[in-house]
Amino acid sequence: MKKIITLSMFSLGLQSCLTNDANPEINIIAPSAFVINGESTTISVIDLATNETRSTISLENSTIDNHNGAKNLDIQFPHHIYLSPDGSKLSIGVPGVDLSEGHLGNHESTGHILIIDAKNGNILSKTELPKPNHNAIFSPDGKEIWTTLMEHHGKTLIYDASTMALKNTILVGEEPAEVTFSANNKYAFVANGGSNTVSVLDILEKKVIKTIAVGEEPVGAWLGVDGRMYVDNELGQSISIIDVEKLEVIETVKLEFKPGYVAYNQLLNEMWVSNAGQSYVHYFVRENNTWKKKGSFQTGLDAHAIAFTKDWKIAYVTNQGNLSVSVIDVISHQKIKDVQVGQKPNGIVLKH
């Protein structure tokens, strides 16, 4: 039976008082997928062994007890989710606006960072930001949380993961969206949607070391385990591929559709790109040292984020317009089933 959990006690920083006595406990057993449902303000937990939603964590009616009495918190449109390196915690960016309608110009709301226990779904901390943020991600060593402020004069903020104290503020480009890390754990990549660039930050030195021009309105530089970062340019309808060693764009792939997400599959050496607003994922293969479209497969409406299992054989695709996650057989490029989740699912992370 599917469980719905309401998290009724919040913390603002780790020092606030947390109790969950009124809430039923859940035990989240790996392998599981955590899916952020932006409009429902929930997290769907999918059992990867059965590909069924086993529990739903509600964030909508959360409150905080900060020793001055409980008060309601306004949590709206959680967006992307990441797992800590040790697998014990989840980090969530909460921009406070519906980014499914576009990423630029959303300056009026405040953003938040939520840290959640990956074993029982309890919220460990909540940090308010002055502007919307696209995501919040653990540093490769798990000691920091990195996020961006989506404003004209963009910033990357770095927090201590234990105390959520602000450690660093780094100026980047205009309207920064996703911040991600390279596989060699040397660099952070910030996609600046308003300036059509990607800022490369040295993780240890906490500074911008290079700014790379990409296509129009980049949203994220997504990790490829092949030594590349794959940048989805929404308005440019293209993918800019960055070589991590050279820190330069080595190839631009024209799509003729708006990308929702791009992911590299190591098993088949394929690049997968979801078609935002449509019900397809397109896959590309290497021919004559360039990426060529090989085929497509159907998912659900407004296909978006893509996550692969650790053996690369199964993929999960969130469908923002279909209240579902499509389970895909990678080798055959066929849909196995759709798993029902909440409204406007976007971010997804797998815990094995």
Provide the pLDDT for residue 109: 84
Alpha carbons 230 and 214: distance in angstroms, whole number? 11
Alpha carbons 155 and 150: distance in angstroms, whole number? 8
19-23, 60-64, 79-83 — most confident range: 79-83
pLDDT band (50, 70, 90) for residue 106: low
- Higher pLDDT residue, 255 or 99? 255
Alpha carbons 112 and 136: distance in angstroms, whole number? 9
Share of the chain above pLDDT 70, in %: 87
pLDDT at 6 over 50: no
C-beta of residue 347 within 8 angstroms of C-beta of residue 80: yes
pLDDT at 23 over 50: no
Provide the pLDDT for residue 62: 54
Alpha carbons 76 and 55: distance in angstroms, whole number? 20
pLDDT at 66 over 60: no
206-260 per-position pLDDT tens digit: 999 999 999 999 999 999 999 999 999 999 999 999 999 999 999 999 999 999 9
320-344 per-position pLDDT tens digit: 999 999 999 999 999 999 999 999 9
Q: Any idea what DSSP says for residue 104?
A: S
Is residue 6 classed as helix, strand or coil in its secondary structure? strand
Overall size of the chain counted in residues: 352
| Residue reference for tokens 């490029």 | 333
- Higher pLDDT residue, 318 or 76? 318
245-304 per-position pLDDT tens digit: 999 999 999 999 999 999 999 999 999 999 999 999 999 999 999 999 999 999 999 999
pLDDT band (50, 70, 90) for residue 64: very low
Other Cβ atoms closer than 10 A to 16: 15
> How far lies 127's CA from each of 134, 177, 277, 282, in Å?
14, 18, 32, 37
Q: Name the token pair of 59.
A: 């964030």
pLDDT band (50, 70, 90) for residue 61: low
Average of per-residue pLDDT across 4-20: 39
Domains present along the chain, CATH in parentheses: 255-352 (2.120.10.30)
pLDDT at 116 over 50: yes
Alpha carbons 341 and 51: distance in angstroms, whole number? 11
How buried is residue 256: exposed, middle or buried, by Cβ count under 10 Å (0-12/13-18/19+)? exposed
Q: What is the DSSP string of 310-350?
A: TTSSEEEEEETTTTEEEEEETTTTEEEEEEE--SSEEEEEE
Alpha carbons 325 and 319: distance in angstroms, whole number? 6
C-beta of residue 306 within 8 angstroms of C-beta of residue 283: no
| Residue reference for tokens 């971010």 | 347
Alpha carbons 37 and 145: distance in angstroms, whole number? 22
Which residues lie below 8 Å from residue 49, measured CB to CB, with a gap of 6+? 31
Q: Which amino acid type is present at position 266? A: Q
